[in-house]
């Protein structure tokens, strides 16, 4: 006897430090402050993913594979590897979100949010990948819902 999925089961909540790639869910949901999320979606294969990282790189010298999704360097690499199992990364539509200034002054050039954005932008440039949707920086947190069947991403802003 198979279990029927409820609407809540059809949506995956991607928490800080987590990532997902596939098509088992109808939508992905996350909430972002200074963290950054990169979304990827393949319009023909109708599959995609999202990583939600907290910091650009892991502090210290000892790699922590249990927390690889927390850091842009490893989270983006893991997401790219998953993408490559199905198609060339250049075939995907990408989105970049988050990285707000949580200190709410809007004056910080070196805050965590800005560092996260710059890291993702450099990575995308190095990988020769183009973002088709972006909503980064500022002083408001965001929630996003990523519809995996259509690739549509809805972003809502919230004052800190």
Give residue 52's pLDDT.
98
What pLDDT band is residue 160 in, cutting at 50, 70 and 90? confident
Q: What are the pLDDT digits (tens) for 103-142?
A: 755 555 679 999 999 999 999 999 999 999 999 999 999 9
- Give the integer Cα–Cα distance in Å for 64 and 74: 10
What fold is seen in the domain 11-90+101-159? 60s Ribosomal Protein L30; Chain: A; (3.30.1330)
Q: What are the pLDDT digits (tens) for 8-59?
A: 679 999 999 999 999 999 999 999 999 999 999 999 999 999 999 999 998 8
- Give the integer Cα–Cα distance in Å for 30 and 23: 17
Q: Kindly report the CA angle at 31 between 55 and 154, in degrees rounded to 5?
A: 120
Give residue 2's pLDDT.
42
- Give the integer Cα–Cα distance in Å for 137 and 115: 10
Give residue 68's pLDDT.
81
Nearest Cα to 98, choosing from 1, 31, 6?
31
Tell me the backbone φ, ψ of residue 10, rounded to 5 degrees: -85, -5
Ordered strands of the 93-98 beta sheet? 19-22, 47-53, 36-42, 93-98, 131-136
- Total count of residues recorded for the chain: 160
How high is the mean pLDDT of the chain? 90
């Amino acid at each position: 006897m198979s279990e029927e999925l409820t609407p809540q089961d059809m949506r995956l909540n991607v928490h800080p430090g987590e990532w997902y790639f596939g098509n088992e869910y109808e939508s992905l949901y996350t909430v972002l402050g200074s963290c950054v999320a990169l979304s990827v979606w393949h319009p023909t294969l109708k599959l995609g993913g999202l990583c939600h990282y907290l910091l650009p790189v892991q502090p210290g010298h000892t790699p922590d594979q249990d927390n690889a999704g927390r850091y842009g360097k490893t989270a983006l690499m893991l997401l790219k590897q998953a993408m490559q199992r199905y198609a060339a990364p250049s075939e995907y539509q990408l989105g970049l979100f988050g990285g707000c200034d949580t200190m709410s002054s809007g004056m910080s050039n070196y805050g965590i949010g800005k560092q996260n954005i710059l890291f993702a932008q450099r990575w995308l440039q190095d990988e020769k990948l183009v973002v088709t949707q972006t909503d980064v920086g500022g002083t408001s947190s965001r929630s996003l819902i990523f519809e995996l069947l259509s690739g549509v991403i809805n972003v809502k802003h919230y004052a800190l």
